[in-house]
Each structure stands twice: as C-alpha cells, then as structure tokens.
Chains A and B, each alone.
Chain A
C-alpha cells in the first residue's frame, strides 16, 4: 500500500502555481472528479492486464548521462535535440521538451493556427474553455482527470472555417534529463466546419532518459472537416499514458496512423465519438514491444448517429518477454442505423515468452448495421522464412525483413514521405540490433 501511495504521489505531485487562472473551473471540476476516482487496479476492467503499481514505480536514473548533459551548453543541447527531429519535414514545427515549449527548436513563423494556452487571446481562451474536457467519456478516466487538474500549459490548434492548411503541424515531445515528476502534455485541436489539416505527433527520448508523461489530446473535427493525424511514439525509455479523444461532426473525416514502440509502460486510449451522420473514421496502427516492455492499446469507437463508417486496423509485433494488449471496442448506439464498422487486429509473436492479450468487442444496439471484427495471433511464417534463407539471407536478417514487412503497410500510411523514411530507419536499426530467440 505504501508503494501505491508513493506512486500516486509521484504521479500526482502538485505542479507549479498556475499562471492560467482562467482555466480554474476546468481544474476544479477535475479535482472534484478525482475525489471519486482511484488509480486503476487489476480489478478495473480496462486495466486488468497490467500490474499498474509495478509499472508506475520510478525507474533508475542514468546519472552519468544526465551529468554529461548538464555540463553541456544550451546551444549544444539544442543541437543534440535538433538531431532527433525529422528535419526534412516542411511543417509548422512545435517542439516541447519535458512538456515545456521550446521556441528555439520550433519553426512556427507565419503560423496563425496554433497558440500555447498561456498566450491565448481572450477569444482563444473562450474557445479552449468551451472545448476542454467536453468530449465523450472523459469523466471516468483517472489519468486524464489528473492531467486536467495539473497541466501547466497546453497547445491549441485551431483551424478556421473552410481553411485548408497545406503544411502539416509537427508536434514533438522530447523527454530529457532527470524527471522528478510526471509531465502533463495537453493538446486541443479544433477543426472548424470544412477545414482540413494534417498533424504529425512525434514522441521521443533522444538520450533514452527515463520519465513519465501523461498526455491528453482532444480533437474536435467539425462538419465536413478533415484531420489526418500521424503519431509516432518512439520513446522506449518513457512511461507514458495517453488519452486521446476525438469527436466528429457530419461528413467529417478523421484518419489516424500510429506507430508505437513499447516502454516500461505505454498505454494508449483512443476514443472516437461519431456524432454527425456520414462521418468517416480510419485508424491504422502498429506497435512493437520487446524485452520486458508493456504496451496497452485501448480503442473505443462510439457510433452514435446513423450512416457513419469506421475502419480500424491494429498490427502488433511482440518480441522477447514483452507484454502487449489490444482492446478494441465498437459501440453502436440504438440510433446508429446503417453503420459500417470494421475492426481487425493481427499479431505476430516473435518469441515463446511474448504475450498478447487481444479483445475485440462489438456492442450493438441497432439492428441494421454491418460490423465485423477479428483478431489473430501467429508466428513468423516458416515457409517465407525458408524462402528468404534459401536465397542466402540469414535467419536473423530474414526475421528482421519479415517483421518489418508485417508493419510496413502501416508505416506506408504515414502521411509524409520523410516521416515514413524516419520511422523505417528507426525500426530497421532497432530490428537489426536484435538477437532473435534461438539465434546467437
């Protein structure tokens, strides 16, 4: 129990006094919710595959590397950080280090669309207050309530009506140095009617420093708007809990492409609420967990109104003794007739000790819908392996190629070519350093 207290104190450590007093009502509401919420346990259905207490315990700090870092000048540090970014990407680049915006690393000239909460105009403040914590299902979530109570600052991306933003928004969150407390990332996207934008989110830990991040992303895609959202989570050393909530209006399109690496704990919750007819949702995600990592993916598609379409594909690659979870729920509300919903989760276990728990769920309360869901768990195809070997490719290399192949389809969906190349390179260097089971 002491352990639990220590964890919660760590995770809930009070932040700096608040500059953004106008957010007080939101924080108060979150504090109020938190009085009745608790850290989830194994008895909490949505968290049952995890030993959360253990996973949230602080990790040893790489003091050597942090000392090195502290001896460096700000310039050197910035240079080092710049190397971990996708530099060739032509985008509005917004870089955060440990949840704090770093202007020197960002490129956001002539970007009228995004603003930090702390710099928001009165009108923007109003917009933020009107949207924050209003999306579906936010209220029972412990970690996002913590975020709402304690986030220091946040990022607003506001796309005006009928505005097509050509350049993508490239949001980077880097974890670096000693992390005495969990940092809270908060992003709010409001895409007004008929607007169109691309968001690329990149989470990384360039020096493999440990830390904890609690992220909440809310995305409002209004009528006829389109948001394309790529997420690359490459911060293997960071314990991360992310709640991502999307709300869609009539004829809107929301596409998400996600590549995630495991960590000591990586938890991703995605809720999409289809609230306008003929809205379309497309989710393509892939995760890779190795060693003793844990990755836990929960998705929920709330089909509330008729005639919406959702398609969700998750591909998991689990190696060594890693533990992965996929829980995908499709919830068709009574009015949501003529819904088309598909969900597929395919997993490849690369080791005898790897674990995957997959649970696709359909909950249907309408009688005229077409839904399908499926999950598979398999191993590398021995015929394919032999074919590659028979052409002189070693077993390890063949497994690397086949592992890459398994998630290549998802990588290929990432919106920008430079992002695809960046991810491919990271994944292949990760795979090539692996010793597959039974290989020396």
Chain B
C-alpha cells in the first residue's frame, strides 16, 4: 500500500527527514511516535503534498504510484487522506458545500456514480451521528467557530465520508478531552478494514489505548530508530524517548554525490 524508502526532506533548506523507511501493508495500523522536532509533522506534510516541503532523496510509493509527483488534490483522489494537526477555518464555505464538492471530485476521479442530493444528505447525517456532531454543523462554515475537539471530529467526519484507502492522522489526538478522543477512535475503528491502512502520528500512548496498532515506530531526528508491536508504545510511555535518542547518535551528514 505505502512504501517509503530512504526519504529525505528539507524545510527552509534544513534537512528534517534523513532517510526514513516505512512499509505499510493493506489493513495495517501503524503508529509513528517521537519527541518534538523529530520530523513527525514534516512526514505527514510531505505525504500530503504541502508546498515548502522539498524531498531531496528517496521514494514514496502508494499502491505502486509515485506519490511525490502528484498534486495534493490528486493524492486525495487516489485515496490518501490527511487529518490535520490544526484544521483551518474557512468562513463562508459551508461544511456541506465543502463535503459535497470534495466527494464529487473523488467519485468523478474514481469513476463512481455521483450521489443524488438526497443520498448525499442521508450519508452526511449518518456520519455526523458517528462523530457526535450535530447536523447543524453541516450548514456552518468549515470549522468556523468550532472548538478544537469539534475541528478534529470534523476531520474524522470528512474521512468517514471520503472513505480513503490510506488515512494519515497527524496528532489528531492532541488537545482532545477523553470523550472526544473516544469519538475520534471510534471513527477510526469504524473504518478499519482489510484493504484500508492507517498511519497515526502521535505524541502519546493515549489514542493507542483505543486504536490498537499493528506496528509502532519511533521517529527520532528524521529516522525510524526502533520499530515494534503495540507493546513498544507502552514502553515509550513508561521510559520516554531519551533512551532511544542517546543510542542513535548520527554521524555528521554524509556528503552526497
């Protein structure tokens, strides 16, 4: 499904990702954990295709396609979804209009029949219920005046509507109270299926109490320094990251040909 090999990326000429390798197979849930500044957000931004993030080396294959050559909207249409760390507010564009446009773009690309207005509303209402958002939210501007938790739940609502094949969640759990966290986790679990994969980027073990990962990776200074099963997350919760950081002293950046 997703194969990241030797990925190097810079932000403002500063190298953040320094040869990152991960492989995600269909149906798997991977958690990427790591201390502040280790490159977690850079990874999700590179995968989503944000400007200002430049890859200097390595490949990212999504279902065999070179993800890095695709525009952000093309990635989404192929089935990649990023839940944002900080979902933006877009006053004046209603959630409904946004969801409808988005879904139409995806369905058109995927040669699926477009939903009628009635079908769409039924689906939207149903998914709203799943993430515990009142349907009134659909009429409001995208994230406009939403609380932090509502914004995150709105991202999960979009994920439920768009049914991506690869879901990247960038610290979706941060800033959530325990009830909202459960809602988010339920949303993820509702989507789990043998042909859908998840990459959860997170600081804390908390979310992983509700969404059991198949693999846990530790990202330190732009590289995966340790991988393991879900028990690794518990170990990290207990010991912190320092024991891993000290053990992986990097040589000075090697000169590239």
Binding site for B on A (CB under 8 A): 381-384, 386-395, 397-398, 401-402, 404-409
**Using Cβ atoms and an 8 Å threshold, which residues of chain A touch B91?**
405, 409
Q: Are A389 and B71 in contact (CB under 8 A)?
A: yes
Q: What's the minimum C-beta distance from A328 to chain B, rounded to whole angstroms?
A: 22
Q: Are B141 and A393 in contact (CB under 8 A)?
A: no
Q: Which of A397, A398, A406 contacts B92 (CB 8 A)?
A: A406
Q: Which of A388, A390, A394, A397 contacts B90 (CB 8 A)?
A: A388
**Using Cβ atoms and an 8 Å threshold, which residues of chain B touch A387?**
84, 87-88, 90, 142
What are 29 inter-chain pairs, A to B, with CB distance below 8 A? A381-B88, A382-B51, A387-B84, A387-B87, A387-B88, A387-B90, A388-B93, A388-B102, A389-B71, A389-B72, A389-B73, A390-B76, A391-B98, A391-B102, A391-B105, A391-B158, A392-B77, A392-B109, A394-B73, A395-B73, A397-B101, A404-B92, A404-B93, A405-B90, A405-B141, A406-B92, A407-B92, A409-B91, A409-B92
Q: Report the Cα distance A386→B90, complex, angstroms.
A: 11
Q: Report the Cα distance A6→B82, complex, angstroms.
A: 62
Interface extent on B, as a size class? 20 to 34
Known: A391-B76, A391-B162, A392-B73. A386 touches B50 (CB 8 A): yes
- Considering the complex, give the chain A residue whose CB is closest to the CB of B72: A389
Q: What's the minimum C-beta distance from B215 to chain A, rounded to whole angstroms?
A: 25
Q: What's the minimum C-beta distance from B155 to chain A, rounded to whole angstroms?
A: 10
**Using Cβ atoms and an 8 Å threshold, which residues of chain A touch B93?**
388, 401-402, 404-405, 408
Q: What's the minimum C-beta distance from B157 to chain A, rounded to whole angstroms?
A: 11
A-B contact count (CB 8 A): 79
Given A390-B72, A390-B75, A407-B92, 6 more A-B residue pairs with CB atoms under 8 Å apart are A384-B90, A387-B84, A389-B49, A390-B84, A391-B105, A397-B101
The winner among A381, A383, A392, A407 for most chain B CB atoms within 10 A is A392
**Using Cβ atoms and an 8 Å threshold, which residues of chain A touch B92?**
402, 404-409
**Using Cβ atoms and an 8 Å threshold, which residues of chain A touch B158?**
391
B160-189 Cβ-contact flags toward A at 8 Å (1 or 0): 001000000000000000000000000000
**Using Cβ atoms and an 8 Å threshold, which residues of chain B touch A404?**
92-93
Q: Are A392 and B90 in contact (CB under 8 A)?
A: no
Q: What's the minimum C-beta distance from A423 to chain B, rounded to whole angstroms?
A: 14
**Using Cβ atoms and an 8 Å threshold, which residues of chain A touch B76?**
389-392
Interface presence of B106 (CB below 8 A): yes
- Considering the complex, give the chain B residue whose CB is closest to the CB of A384: B90
Chain B residues numbered 64-111 whose CB sits less than 8 Å from any CB in chain A: 71-73, 75-77, 81-82, 84, 87-88, 90-93, 97-98, 101-102, 105-106, 109
Q: What's the minimum C-beta distance from B48 to chain A, rounded to whole angstroms?
A: 5
- Considering the complex, give the chain A residue whose CB is closest to the CB of B103: A392
**Using Cβ atoms and an 8 Å threshold, which residues of chain B touch A395?**
71, 73
Q: Report the Cα distance A332→B82, complex, angstroms.
A: 53
Q: Are A392 and B106 in contact (CB under 8 A)?
A: yes
Q: What's the minimum C-beta distance from A391 to chain B, rounded to whole angstroms?
A: 4
Q: What's the minimum C-beta distance from B168 to chain A, rounded to whole angstroms?
A: 10
**Using Cβ atoms and an 8 Å threshold, which residues of chain A touch B82?**
390
Q: Report the Cα distance A404→B77, complex, angstroms.
A: 23
Q: What's the minimum C-beta distance from A142 to chain B, rounded to whole angstroms?
A: 38
**Using Cβ atoms and an 8 Å threshold, which residues of chain B touch A390?**
48-49, 72-73, 75-76, 81-82, 84
**Using Cβ atoms and an 8 Å threshold, which residues of chain B touch A382?**
51
Q: Are B105 and A397 in contact (CB under 8 A)?
A: yes
Q: Which of B48, B75, B98 contacts A401 (CB 8 A)?
A: B98
Q: Which of A381, A384, A393, A408 contacts B102 (CB 8 A)?
A: A393
**Using Cβ atoms and an 8 Å threshold, which residues of chain B touch A398?**
73
- Considering the complex, give the chain B residue whose CB is closest to the CB of A394: B73
Q: Are A392 and B162 in contact (CB under 8 A)?
A: yes
Q: Report the Cα distance A382→B150, complex, angstroms.
A: 22
Q: What's the minimum C-beta distance from A71 to chain B, rounded to whole angstroms?
A: 41
Closest 6 CB pairs of A and B: A405-B92, A392-B76, A391-B102, A389-B72, A392-B105, A408-B92
Known: A393-B73, A405-B90. A388 touches B98 (CB 8 A): yes
B135-157 Cβ-contact flags toward A at 8 Å (1 or 0): 00000011000000000000000
Q: What's the minimum C-beta distance from A410 to chain B, rounded to whole angstroms?
A: 10
**Using Cβ atoms and an 8 Å threshold, which residues of chain A touch B51?**
382, 386
B41-77 Cβ-contact flags toward A at 8 Å (1 or 0): 0000000111100000000000000000001110111
**Using Cβ atoms and an 8 Å threshold, which residues of chain B touch A407?**
92
**Using Cβ atoms and an 8 Å threshold, which residues of chain B touch A397?**
101, 105
Q: Which of A381, A401, A408 contacts B101 (CB 8 A)?
A: A401
Q: Report the Cα distance A405→B51, complex, angstroms.
A: 23
The winner among A393, A395, A402, A404 for most chain B CB atoms within 10 A is A393
**Using Cβ atoms and an 8 Å threshold, which residues of chain A touch B105?**
391-394, 397
Q: What's the minimum C-beta distance from B71 to chain A, rounded to whole angstroms?
A: 7
Q: Report the Cα distance A390→B73, complex, angstroms.
A: 5
**Using Cβ atoms and an 8 Å threshold, which residues of chain A touch B109?**
392
- Considering the complex, give the chain B residue whose CB is closest to the CB of A412: B92
- Considering the complex, give the chain B residue whose CB is closest to the CB of A396: B73
Q: Report the Cα distance A365→B142, complex, angstroms.
A: 43
**Using Cβ atoms and an 8 Å threshold, which residues of chain B touch A384?**
88, 90
